Amino acid sequence: MKSPSVPSLDAVNAQAQAFGTAMGEMLKTVSGINLPMDALAGLQADYVNEVTRLWNGALGGAASAEVHKPLTDKRFASQAWAQNPATAIAAQSYLLNARTLLKMADSVQADEKTKARIRFAVQQWVDAASPANYLALNPEALNKAIETQGESIAQGLQHLWQDIGKGHVSQTDESVFEVGRNVATTEGAVVFENELFQLIEYKPLTAKVHDKPMLFVPPCINKYYILDLQPENSVIRYTVEQSHRVFVMSWRNPDVSIAGKTWDDYIADGPIQAIEVVQEITGADTINTLGFCVGGTILSTALAVLAARGEHPAASVTLLTTMLDFEDTGVLSVFIDEPSVRLRELTIGEQASNGPGLLKGQELATTFSFLRPNDLVWNYVVGNYLKGEAPPPFDLLYWNGDSTNLPGPMFCWYLRHTYLANDLKQPRKLTVCGEKLDLGQVKAPVFIYASREDHIVPWTAAYASTRVLKGPKRFVLGASGHIAGVINPAVKNKRSHWVNDKLPEAATDWLSSANEKPGSWWPDWSAWLASHAGKQVAAPKSFGSRQHKVIEPAPGRYVKQKA
């Protein structure tokens, strides 16, 4: 492929002018917001120095070798970007412009939420504008097109057409996976169902089990099998292997027939009902419980409702990447304010003119993907469409694309009273299922897990639950993100986790005195859970009970329903 000629000084001026235009557009975006002129002048001066150095290198000056080195940014790390003068300078210029625009966004004088929104908007624009995302500017994609005599472009168009049919960008080879065949395969049976969930009981893998059973409450915004992907990385199977009698809620994927379900419905007919059924099947007065993400919020709410009624069925509570205090919600806060919540209430909530509707699962999935657009959107646009490469099979990303709907009234209540108003942590502020809610009345021992790089539930927000809940608490921090941090099998001995028996007021103080331990956090949790699980008894020989007979084998029908 012939290399274009080295850019002229006119091109340097054009580059500076183009960036000036971009800066002008940025200023329009933040109209009415104070952007200090001294900060802007400093950014402009830095930019001129950097762009001068960059173009001098491109024109053969002393910095030439620096300009043509492979970049550390993985989008431009291929040697193809460094070998061609035009693409090398394009990548370098793009990264310089991106840095400057983001510094400008950070220099805006405004309240924290406004600054976060501006930075998020600029980041989205910057990521979308990468030259790697466009066929004509991507030397890797162009080289592949030449090498394959255009076959890669034909394959890319075919992938694009298939994804248009699916309604989303494919992140994995979805044809490889099937729920119940090679994901969600731990042996069990559905022993109860209602309009909102099926209850799965799993077959014991040990001769004896603890007499206090275990109930998992997964997030209703995703399907439960994130906890049961493959046998080697299944939290459910691991828990069964540790001699626990395990039950898991499998939430229904809502359709229009249950679009009017409320938060109260999800509490009463969700975990409260599940707890009662587990108690009836096992004969146990108290059970161990676990909630993941919003499942933890739902579980905690249910236990607080029961506590207000004088009932305390939980022998222990495990909360994985869960928020109860929504003061710091991270990047998700950019989407939440009074007008946006009010709009939801008027379109899909109980006040909707055409009746309650559904929050579509694909809308949620797209929102979460654009929290990390380079990794979860543009990476696949480049690979799938520009290079014509099919994404490799990956069970976690298959689950990530298997989206679920939510009833509008339930979702609107959740938005208003957690992310917007942060009412949940306030004692007796909310009434749920006819009871004044006080999470402090939940006295069971609690294991709180957070992931250090979590962009959905910041670890410091998860740590804030230690101030809301009043029973004995253990907090453990794992490496990685919202999902990969949780799904970290003990046998693989990957990553690390931090422990600290003390719980100071500030999360940063906890971390500063915490001890880092190699490997998964699972064994730490398993040891803690065993201390609350009671004596060991003979494992049951069959599923369910006379009152709750087997309905169908796991994983059941509900998890297979598509949004």
Which secondary-structure segment (H or E) carries 432? strand 431-432
What is d(CA 533, CA 316) in angstroms, rounded to the nearest whole number? 8
Residues 6+ apart with CB under 8 A from 521: 449, 476, 478, 488, 497
3-state SS class at 319: strand
The neighbour count for residue 146, using CB atoms within 10 Å, is 10
Asked whether the beta carbons of 245 and 539 are under 8 A apart, the reply is yes
Phi, psi values for residue 215, rounded to 5°: -115, 125
Asked whether the beta carbons of 372 and 453 are under 8 A apart, the reply is no
Task: Using the Cα atoms of residue 321, residue 326, residue 327 and residue 328 in order, give the sign of their dihedral.
Answer: positive
Asked whether the beta carbons of 517 and 497 are under 8 A apart, the reply is yes
Catalytic residue among 220, 293, 412, 433: 293
C-alpha R_g of the chain: 26
- Give the DSSP letter string of 131-164: GGGSGGG-HHHHHHHHHTTTHHHHHHHHHHHHHH
Closest CA to 409 of 346, 367, 363: 346
Tally the residues of the chain: 563
Residues 6+ apart with CB under 8 A from 291: 216, 217, 271, 297, 298, 299, 300, 317, 318, 319, 320, 322
Task: Using the Cα atoms of residue 180, residue 184, residue 187 and residue 190 in order, give the sign of their dihedral.
Answer: negative
Residues 6+ apart with CB under 8 A from 315: 212, 286, 287, 288, 444, 445, 532, 533, 534
220 is an active site residue: no
Closest CA to 316 of 537, 533, 467: 533
Q: Which amino acid is at 34?
A: N
State how beta strands 496-499 and 246-251 pair: unpaired
3-state SS class at 423: coil
Q: Give me the active site residues, please.
A: 293
